[in-house]
Amino acid sequence: MSVEEIMSEGKEKMEKAVAQLKKSFGSVRTGRANPLILEKVTVDYYGAPTPLRQMAQVTVQDGTTLVIAPFDKSILKEVEKAVIKADLGITPNSDGIVVRLPFPPLTSDKRKEIAKEVKKMGEDAKVAVRNIRRDMTDDVKKAEKADNLPEDVVKDKQNEIQKLTDKYTKTIEDLCAEKEKEVLTI
């Protein structure tokens, strides 16, 4: 593998780590209704576990309520059971046509707990980026031996790898700070 391939592959992996963090933040409860919180909810649909978002329209009603309207009204009870089973901390209300999920306001203790969760997610993403850096550095060292690269080229690539790592680490820190602010804002 050439040094340029190592660099582009590493950059791509770091971008994926940031994208995964953003996706994880989507399922974090902030006191406002967010359809992404239902991302992991699956409904037993005729014996097959099916993602809720594939079998129902999910809308935000007034900023604090999610409305789940199943395409097949006969599975309303199953949808309700799936939401309860998902343990989102929200009790669903069904009126026979749709299921409503009212998001209660978060207590300050719960907000602090969620902010800690956000920090942990950020730390995990930073660890992933650092692991990618380590792998890239190892690959550059292997390429140095295999391709007889000059030492100054290897040093330049290692500096480039570190700058890339710093850039993505800063991006992760900024995302975490933004999400923490969102969680802690009443």
Domain with CATH 1.10.132.20 in the chain: 3-27+107-184
Q: Give 94's strand partners.
A: 99
The CATH class that applies to domain 35-102 reads: alpha beta
Percent of the chain whose predicted confidence (pLDDT) is above 90:
32
pLDDT in tens, 6-42: 889 999 999 999 999 988 887 777 767 778 888 888 8
Which residues are 161's β-sheet partners?
Answer: none
Query: What pLDDT does 186 receive?
Result: 66
Q: From CA 156, how far away is CA 162, in angstroms rounded?
A: 10
**Spatial CB neighbours of 99, under 8 Å, sequence gap ≥ 6:** 67, 68, 70, 76, 79, 80, 83, 92, 93
**Whole-structure pTM value:** 0.73
In this structure, are residues 129 and 172 in contact, taking their beta carbons and an 8 Å threshold? yes
Contact 17, 128 (CB under 8 A): yes
Give me the torsion for CA of 164, 170, 176, 182, rounded to 10°.
Answer: -130
CA gap 145, 151 in Å, rounded = 10
What residues pair up with 66 in beta bridges, in sequence order? Answer: 60, 101
For the segment 49-108, what is each residue's pLDDT rounded down to a tens digit?
888 888 889 888 887 888 999 998 888 888 888 888 887 778 888 888 898 988 877 788
Question: What is each CA distance from 183 to 14, 30, 72, 179, in whole angstroms?
Answer: 25, 5, 35, 6
- Of 32, 26, 177, the closest CA to residue 106 belongs to 32
Is domain 3-27+107-184 classified as CATH 1.10.1030.10? no
pLDDT digits (tens, 9 = 90+) for 112-130: 888 899 999 999 999 999 9
Outline which parts of the chain fall under CATH 3.30.1360.40: 35-102
Q: How many CA atoms lie within 13 A of 166 on its CB side?
A: 6
